[in-house]
Structure 1
Amino acid sequence: MDFITASKEFLDYVEITKANGTLDVYTRKVKILNKYFGTTDISVITKKDVIKFWSWRKASLPNIKPQTLNKYRTVIILIIEYHTDIRLKVRKLRENHIMIEVIDPHTVFTVFEYLRQQTTYKEGLRNYVLFKLIFDTGLRINEVLNLKVSDFSFETNTIHAKVTKTKRERFVYFKNDTKKLIKQLITRDRAIDYIFKSYQKDKRLSVDNVQSLCFRIEKKLNLSYTIRPHEWRHTFATTFLKRGADLETLRLILGHASIKTTQRYLHLDNDFIRNEYFKVA
């Protein structure tokens, strides 16, 4: 079986058995893998072919992280194993455990001010609400994009997140200023299902759509740092802790199964650590 056919059947299986977030990640990886492996028979793919793919991908993206290359490795192994019951033995690349940067308050303000000024445009209001909601709730981007009108309770400022990475439903909360914007968006779009839609394709926004939007904003505002969805989630989490919240509450909001995950995921940003240091130094 050729790789393109094998990957399609594998994604059909993932769609049924895994969370939507996992499907989105695998789908994006498969698009690149199909370009490289194409009609290659999966039965002849070896460890050397995976290494050659790594080299090919790194040639086009010199700054690609080992973590990302390892994700491609995982997808290749799973596709082959799904069809042949053979698990390709390829060691993971050594990963660099880099501290994730939060979005600094000035950048948050700059981005929100820019988005607020765009709310007279159809996409502008949608984009503003999208980022406000991530910053209020700490939801993963795929969880936000799967929100429907029926998931919101405006009496209690609560969202019932039903489509989650862990497949465990949970509740998150939003502020009053964000509530007004959400209501405005729903009313304007006459939305009855998904909140965040692509107006060109008349279907819900994809993760790729949002990633592209972040890139355009970074370029437009000449930002020094990236403002990708996961960094907004990370910024929410660190801000929440710095305001005095406890880890267990944060764990429930973020949807982590274990408190250890929350502890590994979080760090206090460099500015905060420096300020705390000089209070006692």
Structure 2
Amino acid sequence: MMLQIIDTPVSETIKNWTSYLQNQLGYSHHTVVAYIKDVNNFCYFLHKYYNKTTTIDDIISTDIRTIRSWLAWRMQSSSHASSARAISSLRNFYKFLSVQYPSINHHIFSIKIPKIKRNNPKVLDANDVVLCISAIGHNRTNWTALRDQTILMLMYGTGLRISETLSITKEHIGEDSIKVVCKGNKVRIIPLLSLLKSHLKHYLQILPFPIQPNIPIFLGKRGKTLKASTFNATLRQLRKNMNLPKHVTPHAFRHSFATHLLKNGASLRAVQELLGHASLKSTQIYTHIDTEHLYKSYKKHPLN
């Protein structure tokens, strides 16, 4: 007879924690899924480690050595960044547990999250961006061509993430701006360029499906909300057709939005607000790209 990985109380606790992450902390769906995956992975490790069904008692009495053993075990098949996130996930879970179980082992909170070396974002040349927007609708006369062009234009013209772009409803679109619900259910208002407004208006006019004000406007061929994976597949095909590098992804258009604004004189604070970064540190990475650009230009000086 096979052992269960976790018992019912642990399963119920994870469900309650999931609700807490979504409703109290306002974490995004992507973050919640990642956190649950990390905690389930930890419970699976305890199950294998003790060769028994993992219980609440096993979790709250786990010592620092066992947690470090789990991290070493998962590092065999996970990236450095993934393991750093796993520590955050487990800390959050233990903090949630500590309200109901004050006797919990608090050593989990002393584990330091390793610093992750950030690589500079891959940025597209402005001409390549325009080429991609034009090419994604090439040889396609149906409404989906305009849909895909509009999505690319929004990501490059506003700095939206692909998840934010595909969540836009009619209610989010204002006269001269667009309202975006971002990470943590925070709301930011982004100005809309006239070209973006006209594209959005045209797309909504030729959309062959009726759409309610609170329903996402970007739909698939059958009238259901377009999935990020579907759009990513279209972009991958575009990359292949145009022989473009692998870093031409939806997020590259967001990176390009930020970098091109900074190169053209926008302030770091303004770009931070437009991107929806909680910390200026997240935005400062784009200044490194700008510095590289200046250095390459400076090397062309006649005295060099």
| TM-score normalised per structure 1 | 0.76
Equivalent AA in structure 2 for residue 12 of structure 1: S
Give the Cα separation in 2 of the matches to 1:172 and 1:244: 18
Q: Does the alignment pair 1:245 with 2:266?
A: yes
Matching of residues 173-188 of structure 1 within 5 Å: 173-187=191-205, 188=207
Does the 8 Å contact 2:178/2:189 carry over to 1? yes
Q: 1:137 to 1:93 in 2, by over 3 A?
A: same
Matching of residues 38-57 of structure 1 within 5 Å: 40=47, 41=54, 43=56, 44=58, 46-47=66-67, 48-57=69-78
**Structure showing greater Rg:** 2
Does the 8 Å contact 2:137/2:146 carry over to 1? yes
Unpaired segments of 5 or more residues in structure 1?
Answer: 58-63
Does the 8 Å contact 2:272/2:280 carry over to 1? yes
Deviation, structure 1 residue 96:
1.9
Aligned counterpart, 2:254: 233
Q: How many residues align?
A: 269
Give the Cα separation in 1 of the matches to 2:297 and 2:155: 26
Give the Cα separation in 1 of the matches to 2:191 and 2:37: 35
Q: 1:79 to 1:165 in 2, by over 3 A?
A: same
Deviation, structure 1 residue 75:
1.9
Q: 1:173 to 1:72 in 2, by over 3 A?
A: same
SS in structure 2 of the partner of residue 244 of structure 1? coil
Does the 8 Å contact 2:143/2:203 carry over to 1? no
Percent identity between the aligned chains? 21
Aligned counterpart, 2:33: 27
Farther off after superposition, 68-77 or 252-261: 252-261
SS in structure 2 of the partner of residue 250 of structure 1? helix
Give the Cα separation in 2 of the matches to 1:227 and 1:251: 22
SS in structure 1 of the partner of residue 197 of structure 2? helix
Deviation, structure 1 residue 149:
0.7
Matching of residues 49-198 of structure 1 within 5 Å: 49-57=70-78, 64=79, 66-83=80-97, 86=104, 88=108, 90-117=111-138, 119-154=140-175, 156=176, 158-161=177-180, 163-165=181-183, 167-187=185-205, 188=207, 189-192=209-212, 193-198=215-220
Give the Cα separation in 1 of the matches to 2:232 and 2:44: 26
Give the Cα separation in 2 of the matches to 1:248 and 1:171: 15
SS in structure 2 of the partner of residue 172 of structure 1? strand
Over residues 68-119 of structure 1, what are the superposed CA-to-partner deviations in whole Å (9 max), with x where a residue is unaligned?
Answer: 3312332233234433554535443442232222123354244223212165
Q: 1:82 to 1:217 in 2, by over 3 A?
A: farther
Equivalent AA in structure 2 for residue 99 of structure 1: N
Unpaired segments of 5 or more residues in structure 2?
Answer: 1-5, 48-53, 60-65
SS in structure 2 of the partner of residue 253 of structure 1? helix
Give the Cα separation in 2 of the matches to 1:19 and 1:141: 19
Equivalent AA in structure 1 for residue 211 of structure 2: A
Aligned counterpart, 2:62: none
Q: Does the alignment pair 1:9 with 2:31?
A: no
CA RMSD of aligned residues (A): 3.4
SS in structure 2 of the partner of residue 171 of structure 1? strand
Does the 8 Å contact 2:74/2:83 carry over to 1? no
Does the 8 Å contact 1:143/1:165 carry over to 2? no
Deviation, structure 1 residue 34:
4.7
Equivalent AA in structure 2 for residue 115 of structure 1: I
Aligned counterpart, 1:61: none
Pick from 253, 267, 270 the counterpart of residue 288 of structure 2. 267
